[in-house]
Structure 1
Amino acid sequence: MAEKMKISIVTAVFNRVDTVADALRSVEAQSYQNVEHVIQDGGSKDGTLELIQKHHGSSSGLVSEPDAGIYDAINKGISRASGDIIGLMHSDDFFADDLVLQKIAEAFREPEVDGVYGDLDYVSSSNTDKIVRRWRSGPYRADLLKRGWMPPHPTLYLRREVFDRWGLYDTSMRIAADYEAMLRYLVKGDIRLAYIPEVLVKMRVGGESNRSLSGILQKSREDYTAMRRHGVGGINTLLAKNFYKLEQFLPKRGKLK
């Protein structure tokens, strides 16, 4: 039964005292019961650690120690996770409703499914009721990868075996390690995905890759490296990927046909 399936949620956090409580409450409010929340703190100094400790008490799911960046922290969290299914809850994000993990567990009832994903809303950092960008991903097809398609990373849940067989995040990439890992799983791993056509996660705008021109250029370089590494295209795919993002700002758009 799906209810027996243990889901591990990994949160990597560093100095996010203003937002992490929403992420914690979001996980805690889920109707699905067999959930492990693994929190990997990078040594926060702004009150984040104290807030987490107050919220979780003596939870063994919390570790605070220096790391080499967000992907290193995520890797540490995944390595500590004990669930059958593993997903992420970034410290600026929260679930769209209290039934998300129940829906994900139901999708994993199918034994041939290796991963599950859904849709994503980007919301204003000052007003989380205001949707800024809508990511409607649609069902996966392998040919979409060369058109810049990818599942919304914060909505992606994978069986533990995917990480065990195909590895964790490449920490040599500062911004696009999630994209590289997803291409690795889809191309080399040929994993099978199930799509839930609903918004699963809401993400505050202002991610690392969009904060500066240097961040945008760095992400483009890393995206291009990942594309070439896994044979899903080059410059044209990179351009298509960025154009696809622009479409997500338009009403009722954001899905490749």
Structure 2
Amino acid sequence: MKFTLITVCYKAGDELAQTVDSVRAQTHPDIEHIIVDGASPDAATQEVLRRIDDGRALVISEPDRGVYDAMNKGLARATGEVVGFVNAGDLLEGPEVIAALAAEFAHGDADVLYGDANMVDPQDIRMVRRFWKGGAYHRDNFRKGWMPPHLGTYIRRAAYGAHGGFDLRFRIAADYELMFRFLYKHGLRARYVPLTIVRFRLGGASNKSLGHVWKANREVLEAWRANGLKPPPLLAFRKPLRKLAQYILPSAP
């Protein structure tokens, strides 16, 4: 089973190199790695891009309209049966991760698999700040502010062909909108795998400040409306409370 891993980056330098090393350490024999760089101007990133453009990765470096546009560019070039994202600076949690996911997908009972994720300090990836602990999939959990962790979720490429990629109208929460559209609206088959899949640095757009958290929550509500559905009344409060619980209770989903 062929996997496509997509890495998006901008001025990532050594962090990009760490991610590439993590992907190349995987034991699974059939991995396509697509790196989408937003035309980084710095010498450090350019040097890393030259070094890794050795035939083992497809490197695209050109201006884009943001991270989700870059992800869509990667999706457009993907040829694997299953697609996952590992952003620059993030690491797969061990060399057997993709092999384990391939074995799970081989059961044929899921379009989407998700696992656990370690969210680490941006300056020290050994320091876990939040832990996303998954559990059995229940569609109605979306009504309580839940979503699977984007970087801990792997999806059959056919789903993107059937239901589209990231909606660029959503500047902060396009990952939520895509997961909601795939799982809640279209009812793709999803299953939890008790495996820590990724170690990723905190600091995404939806977590930068209280203002960004507020904007992200507004986009979450708009994601429901954009898909022709009415958001639950308390959704805007439940989602940030779930994030807070991940700091306080290690097992919180």
Which TM-score tier does this pair reach, normalised by the shorter chain?
A: over 0.9
**Residues 84 and 153 in structure 2, CA contact (< 8 A), matched pair in contact too:** yes
Out of 49, 53, 68, the residue aligned to residue 50 of structure 2 is 53
Amino acid paired to 2:236: L
For 1:118 and 1:49, how far apart are their aligned partners in 2? 33
Structure 1 segment 10-29 matched on structure 2, within 5 A:
10-29=6-25
Task: Report what 2:236 is aligned to.
Answer: 238
For 1:147 and 1:188, how far apart are their aligned partners in 2? 15
For 1:180 and 1:117, how far apart are their aligned partners in 2? 16
Task: Report what 1:122 is aligned to.
Answer: 119
What are the superposed Cα offsets for residues 174-223 of structure 1, whole Å, 9 maximum, x if unpaired?
11000000000012221011211121101111112222333222212111
For 1:232 and 1:23, how far apart are their aligned partners in 2? 39
For 1:199 and 1:229, how far apart are their aligned partners in 2? 32
CA-CA distance at 1:57 after TM superposition: 2.4
**Residues 132 and 250 in structure 2, CA contact (< 8 A), matched pair in contact too:** no
Name the CA shift for 1:252/1:213 in 2 (closer, same or farther; >3 Å). Answer: closer
Task: Report what 1:35 is aligned to.
Answer: 31
For 1:210 and 1:26, how far apart are their aligned partners in 2? 25
TM-score, normalization by structure 1: 0.93
| Structure 1, unpaired ranges of 5+ | none
For 1:211 and 1:159, how far apart are their aligned partners in 2? 30
TM-score, normalization by structure 2: 0.94
Amino acid paired to 2:221: Y
Out of 87, 90, 107, the residue aligned to residue 87 of structure 2 is 90
Q: Percent identity?
A: 35
Out of 149, 152, 156, the residue aligned to residue 149 of structure 2 is 152
Task: Report what 2:162 is aligned to.
Answer: 165
Task: Please state whether the residue corresponding to 2:109 is helix, strand or coil.
Answer: coil
CA-CA distance at 1:253 after TM superposition: 2.7
Structure 1 segment 159-238 matched on structure 2, within 5 A:
159-230=156-227, 231=229, 233-238=231-236
| Structure 2, unpaired ranges of 5+ | none
For 1:139 and 1:40, how far apart are their aligned partners in 2? 33
Question: Considering only aligned residues, what root-mean-square deviation do their CA atoms show, in Å?
Answer: 1.5
Confirm whether residue 6 of structure 1 aligns to residue 2 of structure 2.
yes
Task: Please state whether the residue corresponding to 1:128 is helix, strand or coil.
Answer: strand
